Copies of this chain bind each other. A is one copy, B any other.
Amino acid sequence: MVSAPSGAGKTTLCKELVASVPGLHPSVSYTTRKPRPGEVHGRDYYFVDEPAFQEMVQRNDFAESARVYGHFYGTPRQALTDMMEKGLDVLLEIDTQGAIQIKKKFTDGVYVYILPPSIEALRTRLIQRGDAPEEIQRRMQKARQEILNYREYDYIVRNEDLKQALQELVAIVHAERTRMKRVDINWLERNFIADTTTT
């Protein structure tokens, strides 16, 4: 699970992360917001209208869903559990509300929070992106509130330099794959502890 305040570079980093780490699969969210230029339905998001989204909420189709800046976002439960049952590593780009929901259900998850270089750098990025002044003000306030949730996360990656931040994300995936709790106990006991020379 990767979260970040708006403008911290999360989407770029997650794309590069998936391209850099074999066997890491992005979860494609549903959203009611309009596609941005270049975004593809089914690749970046499933773009749906609000009634369709609410129907999915009613059917409990989402592992998590949240309203962010007036738009709804949701992670499809079935696609997620299918990937997990296949033993795949799944990358979720979600906001802090969603991360907190997911954490209650998937205790084995890894939670990463991406920080902008500084709060002022965040403002600069939002200005460069062409956000309106009142939108910037709103996002800055939201960012401060959001960053307060950093304690919910396992790792904090500061995106001061894209290459460095990407390396840190890649390291987190590789390291987490070697965690003791993910080792197949049966495999280990069969191969390393059972004395096969005397049987």
Question: What residues of chain A have their CB less than 8 Å away from a CB belonging to chain B?
Answer: 113, 115-116, 118-120, 143-144, 147-148, 150-151, 153-157, 167-168, 170-172, 174-180, 183, 188, 191-193, 195-196
Q: Chain B residues near A119 (CB, 8 Å)?
A: 191-192, 196
Contact partner of A175 (CB less than 8 A), chosen from B116, B176, B180, is B176
Contact B183 A175 (CB under 8 A): no
Describe A's contact surface by its main secondary structure.
Answer: helix
Across the interface, do B174 and A168 meet the contact criterion of CB distance under 8 Å?
A: yes
**Residue of A119, A175, A178, A192 contacting most chain B CB atoms (<10 Å):** A175
Find chain B residues with CB under 8 A from A183 CB.
150, 156
Q: How far is the CA of A157 from the CA of B180 in the complex (A)?
A: 9
A13 to B8 CA separation, bound complex (whole angstroms): 36
A115-B192, A156-B178, A168-B175 known; 5 new pairs, CB 8 Å cut-off, are: A144-B192, A151-B180, A155-B178, A167-B174, A171-B171
